[in-house]
């Protein structure tokens, strides 16, 4: 009796070369990301903005949980604005870090050649680059309105007017301005690649179609 023949799909699925290529690509992406975060580049911008948003989210929610005044283990000051700010910033941070990783993965494999390939990473990156800046600006301004809500609570609600609440509100204001100023500085210092603004560049229409 003849043994069962190994199919082509089985040989491919168990091929170690695929895992080796994926691992090499991942390490190359991490190396590109590490090299890019310490320079004025898109990778550095996405990483540090995402990092600042995550730090701001953690500091805000942890400070509120530990320092907010309580009665019988219940926070007596309105908490919705604080939770919303922390949630928005956490979402922003994760989104920025995802964009940083995707952009690093494409830069590491020759970005201009990679854009010609309609891969899943290319489609996701194009969607995020197109839609995220508008959404993040909107929620960044919304978080400023929420900060003003906390200031209003601090001024007009006696149960919120304590040194710990003032400290939490001060944290959120400082973090908001750090993110804003850092973003403005990075925007003015980053050199845009020509395929983003030069219609005569060979990659310009590819980038437009991707987005």
Q: What is the CA radius of gyration of the chain?
A: 23
CB atoms within 10 A of CB 198: 12
The pLDDT value given to residue 166 = 87
Mean pLDDT of the chain, nearest integer:
72
**pLDDT for 175-203, tens place per residue?**
999 988 988 887 777 655 544 444 444 44
Tell me: pLDDT of 144 over 70: yes
Q: Which helix (H) or strand (E) holds 75?
A: strand 74-75
Question: Is the CB of residue 102 less than 8 Å from the CB of residue 26?
Answer: no
124-147 burial, b at 16+ Cβ within 10 Å, e below that, comes to: ebbebbeebeeebeebbeebbebb
Band of the pLDDT at 204, cuts 50, 70, 90? very low
Band of the pLDDT at 174, cuts 50, 70, 90? very high
Residue that wins the pLDDT comparison between 151 and 11? 151
Q: Which helix (H) or strand (E) holds 118?
A: none
Burial class (CB in 10 A: 0-12, 13-18, 19+), 47: buried
**pLDDT for 21-30, tens place per residue?**
555 555 666 6
**CA–CA gap between residue 165 and residue 118 (Å, rounded):** 50
Place of tokens 């050649």: 113
């Amino acid at each position: 009796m003849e043994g069962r023949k190994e199919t082509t799909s089985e040989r491919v699925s168990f091929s170690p070369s695929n895992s080796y290529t994926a691992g090499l690509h991942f390490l190359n992406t991490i190396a590109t990301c590490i090299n890019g975060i310490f320079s004025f580049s898109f990778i550095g911008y996405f990483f540090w903005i995402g990092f600042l948003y995550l730090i701001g989210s953690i500091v805000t929610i942890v400070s509120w949980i530990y320092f907010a005044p309580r009665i019988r283990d219940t926070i007596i000051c309105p908490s919705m604005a604080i939770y919303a700010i922390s949630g928005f910033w956490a979402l922003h941070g994760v989104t920025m870090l995802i964009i940083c990783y995707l952009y690093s993965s494409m830069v590491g494999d020759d970005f201009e050649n990679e854009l010609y390939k309609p891969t899943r990473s290319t489609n996701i990156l194009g969607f995020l680059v197109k839609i995220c800046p508008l959404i993040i600006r909107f929620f960044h301004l919304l978080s400023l309105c929420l900060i003003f809500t906390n200031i209003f609570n601090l001024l007009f609600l006696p149960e919120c007017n304590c040194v710990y609440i003032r400290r939490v509100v001060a944290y959120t204001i400082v973090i908001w301005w750090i993110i804003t100023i850092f973003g403005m500085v990075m925007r003015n210092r980053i050199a845009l690649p020509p395929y983003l603004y030069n219609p005569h560049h060979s990659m310009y229409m590819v980038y437009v179609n991707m987005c």
